[in-house]
Every structure is written in C-alpha cells, then in structure tokens.
C-alpha cells in the first residue's frame, strides 16, 4: 500500500492522468487501474495526504500505521500536528481512531429523541402501520423530545406477500462526538417502548436531569450487576471474609483425589478466572501478541476434563475465544475427534428442535 500511494502521489503531483487519456486521477484509477469508485476515492485521498506529508510513507511501510488511519487522519493533518498525530495513531483499531478523531474536532451533544417509525410489509387489519421506535440517546436538552411519526408507508403492492430474505444484522457502534461523549442510536419495538416508559416513570427523581442517558445507564448498571463477573466478585469481597470467598475452592481441594465428578465450572471459580485473565482470551501467538478477543469467551481446561483435569480449580482454567479453544482441542484430541463431537452436538440440538 505504501508503494501504491507513493506512486499515486507522484502521479498526481505531476498531473500525468491527461497523458493517459484520462481527465483526472480519479478516472485514471477507475478506468486504467480498475479500482471501484469508492476504492479510487479513498486511495486518492490517502495519496494526497502522502504527497503533503511524506513521513506517512515510512509509517505505512513499517506497518505502524494502517490505510484506514491515513484516511481518517488526512482531513485533520497539518504541518504542526502531523508528527504527534501519526505517533498517536500507531497500532490503533478503527474504533480507537474514531475516538482520536473525535478528540480533534469535538461535536456538541445530541438532544434526546424518541420517534415512532412505520414498519414496512403488510399492514395490520386496522390499516395503520405498526410503529417501531428509534432511540437517539444523548443528554437531555430542555427535556426529552418525542418527535412526530415519520410519513406513513404506502399501501402494499401486489408483491407485498412475498417474503424478502432477512437482512444481515450489522450492529452500529456508538459514534464518538468527542473523546468523552458518544451518540447511541437503535430501533426497538412497542414492548421496549412500554418498558422504557415504565422505567422512566419509576426512575423520576432518582436520575433527575439526565434524560435518556441516565435511564439507560441505570438499566445497564442493573443488568451488569447480574452478569458481570467483576461486579459479582466485588460484591463477594464486600460481604465475605477471605476464607468464605475461597471456601468453595477449598472444599473442592479437600475432595477425594481422582477424576472430578462434574465438568461444570462453579460460578465462583469462573469469576476468579475472569478477573485473573482480565476478561480476554489468553492465547499468545508466535509473535508474542495476545489475542485481543474479549467477547464470546469460553472457560478452557488446561488439562482437559476428559483427561482428568478438574473444573473447580482456577489454576486449571483459562479464558479462550471460541477459535483458540477449538484450536487447542484439535491439537490435543485431533481433528477427527473434535469434528465428530461437533457434528454429534449439532445433531442433538436439531433433535431437540
């Protein structure tokens, strides 16, 4: 990519597109190099950043800066800040880069908004479209606003009865407005609206002045109190002595030697492992880098349970993402055995419906 952008930067500087029968560098990228229009636009944007700030080339060539980082940073670069921004962007993910950009050009908070939306497809018997809800969550500005419903959908045509293939769900990440503020948007159904109204009524006075932000933060706090291993561990520490906190593990250690009675990992042990491994996959690659996955983690037995490894000792457990848990299982038991076990599990799930 560094070589291509250097080539395009020099090509642009010398205005050579005309020599190839093209009116602009954009047409040259699309017609001669075969890029899509979107790819051409991004590469030209990055090439012009390289033209103006040649130090970007070395960062790209050394793998310290990604192409995405160049695209996101280019509108904000100048001769005074280029060194600091390139250093700050090294090794950052797209999400981290978005936060960095938001800190350079912070935007004001968005007002609360609750708007009824029509739902496409066959209308109910009443002839009125069933509204869904779109929430735009930010701090309250002059009180929460409820916007009027969007324009009604047109009556379904003769092809309305056909079932369209389900759209692939693409979760929308919170959009950074600054380095400390984010814009959340999502759409929900009527039952969510009813729960929202009920929770809002119950929270009045306890989250005063915080609008939707206060309500959803309180809701997430309540959810995390039940499912977050860190919070469970802190509660356990607050109400128990050290002896009682580790009592479950000590009782397991005093059990008769031999194969563990069950494969299930006790919740207290899970919490210890989660905190020890910082809620992240523990696999470390040949390059010394630890796997960054922190979602859909599994509790992997270091000595497999099938080979006598205990499920109630934190020292025999570690966090692993599904990919690396499967990789380790295949290393120990072989591809054939694991593939057969996976197929059997799928068959059992299908039989249960």
What pLDDT is stored for residue 148 in this prediction? 42
At 114, give phi and psi (nearest 5°): -130, 115
Q: Is 253 domain-assigned? A: no
pLDDT band at 67, cuts 50/70/90? confident
140's CB contacts (< 8 A; 6+ apart) are: 111, 112, 209, 210, 211, 212, 213, 214
Q: Are residues 183 and 208 in the same domain?
A: yes
One domain for residues 223 and 112: yes
Residue 308's CATH number = 1.10.30
Do residues 114 and 72 both lie within one domain? no
Question: Which DSSP letter does residue 284 get?
Answer: B
Instruction: Decide: 41 and 80 in contact? Cβ < 8 Å.
Output: no
Query: Could you tell me how many residues make up the chain?
Result: 353
Q: How far apart are CA 218 and CA 100, in angstroms?
A: 27
Structure tokens at 323: 């990919």
Show the domain range for 309.
259-352
Residue 114 inside a domain? The answer is yes
Residue 49 lies in a domain: yes
Burial class (CB in 10 A: 0-12, 13-18, 19+), 143: exposed
User: Which DSSP string corresponds to 288-310?
Assistant: SPBP---SSEEEEESS-GGGT--
Beta strands 113-117; 132-137: pairing state: antiparallel
The total number of structural domains in the chain stands at: 3
> In this structure, is residue 31 part of a structural domain?
yes
In a domain, 347, yes or no: yes
- Residues of the chain with pLDDT > 90, as a percent, come to 14
pLDDT at position 136 is 45
pLDDT mean across residues, the chain: 76
Q: Note the pLDDT of residue 99.
A: 81
């Amino acid at each position: 990519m560094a070589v291509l952008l250097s080539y395009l930067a020099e090509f642009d500087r010398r205005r050579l597109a005309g020599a190839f029968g093209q009116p602009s560098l954009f047409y040259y990228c699309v017609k001669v190099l075969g890029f899509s229009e979107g790819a051409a636009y991004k590469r030209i944007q990055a090439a012009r950043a390289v033209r103006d700030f040649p130090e970007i080339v070395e960062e790209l060539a050394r793998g310290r800066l990604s192409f995405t980082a160049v695209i996101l940073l280019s509108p904000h670069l100048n001769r005074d800040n280029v060194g600091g921004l390139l250093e700050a962007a090294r090794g950052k993910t797209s999400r981290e880069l978005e936060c960095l950009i938001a800190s350079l050009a912070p935007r004001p908070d968005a007002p609360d908004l609750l708007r009824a939306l029509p739902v496409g497809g066959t209308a109910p018997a009443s002839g009125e479209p069933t509204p869904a809800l779109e929430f735009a969550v930010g701090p309250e500005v002059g009180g929460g606003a409820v916007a009027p419903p969007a324009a009604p959908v047109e009556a379904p045509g003769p092809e309305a009865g056909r079932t369209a293939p389900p759209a692939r769900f693409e979760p929308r990440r919170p959009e950074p407005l600054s380095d400390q503020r984010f814009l959340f948007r999502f759409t929900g159904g009527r039952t969510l609206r009813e729960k929202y109204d009920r929770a809002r009524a119950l929270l009045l006075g306890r989250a005063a002045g915080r609008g939707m932000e206060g309500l959803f933060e309180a809701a997430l706090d309540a959810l995390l109190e039940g499912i977050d291993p860190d919070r469970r561990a802190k509660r356990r520490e607050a109400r128990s002595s050290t002896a009682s906190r580790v009592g479950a593990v000590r009782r397991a250690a005093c059990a008769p030697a031999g194969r563990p009675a069950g494969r299930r990992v006790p919740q207290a042990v899970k919490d210890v492992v989660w905190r020890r491994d910082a809620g992240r996959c523990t696999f470390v690659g040949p390059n010394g880098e630890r796997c960054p996955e922190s979602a859909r983690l599994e509790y992997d037995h270091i000595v497999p349970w099938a080979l006598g490894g205990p499920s109630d000792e934190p020292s025999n457990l570690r966090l692993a993402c599904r990919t690396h848990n499967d990789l380790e299982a295949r290393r120990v038991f072989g591809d054939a055995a694991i593939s057969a076990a996976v197929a059997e599990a799928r068959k059992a799930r299908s039989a249960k419906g």
